[in-house]
Amino acid sequence: MAPNWFKYASPASFYPLAGRLVPWFGAAAALLTVLGLYLGFFVAPTDYKQGEAYRIIFIHVPAAWMSMFIYLVMAFYAGLGLVFNTRLSAFMARSLAPTGALFTFIALWTGALWGKPMWGAWWVWDARLTSELILLFLYLGYMSLQAAIEDPRRAARASGLLALIGAVNVPIIYFSVQWWNTLHQGASISMSQGSTMAATMLTAMLVMTLAFWMYTIAVVLTRVRCEILERERHSEWVAEIAAREAR
Amino acid sequence: MSLAEFFDMGGYAFYVWGSYLVTAVLMLIEVVGVIRRRRTLLDRLGRIHGAAQGAGRSGR
Amino acid sequence: MGATGLLSGTRYVLARDLTLAGRRVTDVLTTLFFFVIVVSLFPLGVGPEAGTLRAIAPGILWVAALLATMLSLGRLFTADHLDGTLEQMLLSPQPLSLIVLGKVAAHWLVTGAPLVLMSPLLGLQFGLSGAPLGVLMLTLLLGTPVLSLIGAMGAALTLGLRGGGALISLLVLPLYVPVLIFGAGAVEAVASGLEADAHLSLLGALLVLALCFGPWVTAAALRISLE
């Protein structure tokens, strides 16, 4: 059995499919968040070293993971869009960026709020926070380039190429920041260091990551649907949808 | 564990709830923004195509 | 010979761009003066304490080099874009990436090389001497071509956009981070009596990578921007 995936690469057939999927992903995100928070706050034990403050981990680490995953997924779709010239992948890449930037910001914010009680400073130039900061700059550059180009085709292709350049550079940047950090601070301070992580902590973290994924998919699919409507606004099928929804 | 104890987070209330609250607010803003973008888009498209249909043939 | 035949386009563009730059020496000098002035402002801001200045010298010289290179990126393709030369280059039988290589080489000779030559003087102002000074020059020699190569990608992507200057910095500066880290790190390592071999080999690796892929990616970006 080979479902015809290419059928869904056409915006006209992807639009209703995405519409059907969004509520499911939204509900899954809500349920997993409730479960993850329950595990994180009521089941996971207090950390013997960091006290209750460590509970920030349940959003900090998932947000940091998501920020990197989303960049890679974005670059993947950007590459697909460049190679196969499919408009849907370009929409996907474009729609992923704001959510990726949001998670990067959340990772930085929660990192600062965790750093203050643990290290006594809001901001430490630790390898992980610094890489997140540079990742945020990469997202901002991508979105600014996207916004600066008026022609949608050029915007999609140029920013797609930029996403690919960024994706190639992310490991190099990460490695160089790691290197810089170890040279300047001796041993690098890591957030989970010193506390052996209880199994329930890990479970809660994974559940929260899954919840963030579901959230991302729901939001991004909705954004893709908006993109499709905007770009295809002169087509017959959009006219039908508009007439139906406006009623 | 009492409710007050829970909200106190062992003295780290500001940091823990500061993280969770800001995360929740930002995600809420994003969701509301996306939904509003969709609504205004549909309204605009509805006006354009509705007017075209009212005039006769469906708008292109 | 095939190789010289292929590189003839590169050499032609290089010679042409250098001739054009020779007619507009002020452009070249502006970048150099920018570099000198930015570096000279730091002691005024930080204070004249010799130990502090020596400690921050590698970072300052390197950041100033990044900014100076970035400032000059706008010139890389804009003039050729405006008078239609760039379109001609796209249509020419020569591979576009080799033409780009020629343009980037000219850009480096005009902006990067003067920075390398000027850096020991500025290093002396900051109390660097001996081995660190030599390593500073060496890192700039290896690193500034990478800056030009990466910058060319940004310049090609933002070609003809309004507000291109500010936008290009947003695109390019995050990508400059590894060069900055290894470049300034090498000088710091030598200044504190350590080996800088690892830094220098990594910087060399970055240069090789950028040389292999940079012109090719820039050519793709130019095609996207001009189609």
Structure tokens at B12: 């780290």
Axis-axis angle for helices A11-38, A199-231 (nearest 10): 160
Lowest mean pLDDT among A229-233, C6-10, C45-49: C6-10
Q: Say which residue, A212 or B49, is predicted with more confidence.
A: A212
Q: Which of A105, A236, A242 sits opposite B45 (nearest CB)?
A: A242
Q: Are C76 and C103 in contact (CB under 8 A)?
A: yes
Torsion angle (degrees, nearest 10) of CA C218, C221, C225, C227: 110
Other chains touching B, judged by 3 or more CB pairs under 8 Å? A
Q: Which of C158, C177, C220 sits opposite A176 (nearest CB)?
A: C177
Q: Which residues contact A76 (CB under 8 A, 6 or more apart)?
A: none
Q: Is the pLDDT of residue C188 over 50?
A: yes
Q: What is the per-residue pLDDT for C131? A: 83
Q: Are A207 and A29 in contact (CB under 8 A)?
A: no
DSSP state of A198: P
Q: Do A176 and C221 touch (CB under 8 A)?
A: no
The whole domain housing A110 covers 24-41+56-242
What three-state secondary structure class fits B59? coil
Q: What is the per-residue pLDDT for C74? A: 82
Nearest to B12 by CA among A112, A117, A121: A117
Q: Is residue A190 part of a domain?
A: yes
Tell me how far apart the alpha carbons of residues A156 and A151 are, in angstroms, rounded to a whole number. Answer: 9
Q: What is the per-residue pLDDT for A133? A: 92
Tell me how far apart the alpha carbons of residues C159 and A148 are, in angstroms, rounded to a whole number. Answer: 11
Q: Tell me the ipTM for this assembly.
A: 0.87
Axis-axis angle for helices A199-231, A87-119 (nearest 10): 140
Structure tokens at B31: 């969701």
Q: Percentage of chain B surpassing pLDDT 90? A: 25
User: In angstroms, how far is the first alpha carbon of chain A from the final one?
Assistant: 40
Q: What is the per-residue pLDDT for C21? A: 82
Q: Are A53 and B10 in contact (CB under 8 A)?
A: yes
Q: Which of B15, B20, B35 sits opposite A116 (nearest CB)?
A: B15
Lowest mean pLDDT among A116-120, C5-9, C121-125, C139-143: C5-9
Q: Do C158 and A172 touch (CB under 8 A)?
A: no
Q: Do A113 and B18 touch (CB under 8 A)?
A: yes
Q: Say which residue, A198 or B31, is predicted with more confidence.
A: B31
Q: Is the pLDDT of residue C143 over 50?
A: yes
What three-state secondary structure class fits A47? strand
Scanning A206-225 for CB atoms below 8 A from B yields 215, 219, 222-223, 225
Q: Is residue A17 part of a domain?
A: no
Q: Which of B26, B38, B46 sits opposite A246 (nearest CB)?
A: B46
Q: How many other C-beta atoms lie within 10 A of the C-beta of residue C163?
A: 10
Instruction: Give me the residue spans of the domains in chain B.
Output: 20-52
Q: How many other C-beta atoms lie within 10 A of the C-beta of residue A242?
A: 25
Confidence of residue B51 (pLDDT cuts 50, 70, 90): low
Q: Is residue A8 part of a domain?
A: no
Q: Are C113 and C147 in contact (CB under 8 A)?
A: no
Closest Cα in chain A, distance from residue C23 (Å): 33
Which of C139, C171, C206 to mutate: most A Cβ within 10 Å? C171
Location of structure tokens 């071509």: C145
* Amino acid identity for residue B9 in this structure: M
Burial group, residue A6, by CB count within 10 angstroms (0-12, 13-18, 19+) = exposed
Which of C77, C81, C157 to mutate: most A Cβ within 10 Å? C157
Q: How many other C-beta atoms lie within 10 A of the C-beta of residue B33?
A: 13
Tell me how far apart the alpha carbons of residues A106 and B6 are, in angstroms, rounded to a whole number. Answer: 23
Q: Do B12 and A51 touch (CB under 8 A)?
A: yes
Asked if A83 has any chain C CB less than 8 Å from its own CB, the reply is no
Q: Is residue A167 part of a domain?
A: yes
DSSP state of B56: S
Tell me how far apart the alpha carbons of residues C167 and C162 are, in angstroms, rounded to a whole number. Answer: 9
Q: What is the per-residue pLDDT for C3? A: 53
Q: Is residue A49 part of a domain?
A: no
Q: What is the per-residue pLDDT for B50? A: 67
Nearest to A129 by CA among A165, A92, A95, A177: A177
Spell out the per-residue pLDDT of chain A, length 247, in tens: 445 556 667 787 888 888 888 899 999 999 999 998 888 778 777 776 677 777 888 888 899 889 999 999 999 999 988 888 888 888 899 999 999 999 999 999 998 888 888 777 788 787 788 888 999 999 999 999 988 888 888 888 999 999 999 998 888 888 888 878 776 654 444 545 444 567 788 888 899 999 999 999 999 999 998 888 888 877 777 777 777 776 5
Q: Are A107 and A64 in contact (CB under 8 A)?
A: yes
Axis-axis angle for helices C113-125, C50-72 (nearest 10): 160
CA C129 to chain centre: 24
Bridge partner list, A47: A51
Q: Which residues contact C121 (CB under 8 A, 6 or more apart)?
A: none
Other chains touching A, judged by 3 or more CB pairs under 8 Å? B, C
Whole-model pTM: value is: 0.88
Chain A contact set for C158 (CB, 8 A): 145, 148
Residues in chain A: 247
Q: Are B57 and A93 in contact (CB under 8 A)?
A: no
Q: Is residue A202 part of a domain?
A: yes
- C-alpha angle C39-C41-C43 in degrees, rounded to nearest 5: 90
Q: What is the per-residue pLDDT for B60? A: 39
Q: Is residue A50 part of a domain?
A: no
Q: Say which residue, A205 or B52, is predicted with more confidence.
A: A205
Over residues C173-195, mean pLDDT: 87
Q: Do C162 and A157 touch (CB under 8 A)?
A: no
Location of structure tokens 């929740």: B24
Lowest mean pLDDT among A141-150, B13-22, C5-14, C35-44: C5-14
Number of domains observed in the structure of chain A: 1
Q: Which residues contact C7 (CB under 8 A, 6 or more apart)?
A: C98
Axis-axis angle for helices A87-119, A127-148 (nearest 10): 150
Q: Say which residue, A32 or C160, is predicted with more confidence.
A: A32
H helices within A39-151, ranges in order? 57-84, 87-119, 127-148
Structure tokens at A62: 């998932």
Q: Do B37 and A226 touch (CB under 8 A)?
A: yes
Q: Do B34 and A219 touch (CB under 8 A)?
A: yes
Q: What is the per-residue pLDDT for A194? A: 46
Tell me how far apart the alpha carbons of residues C46 and C38 are, in angstroms, rounded to a whole number. Answer: 13
Tell me how far apart the alpha carbons of residues C17 and C88 are, in angstroms, rounded to a whole number. Answer: 15
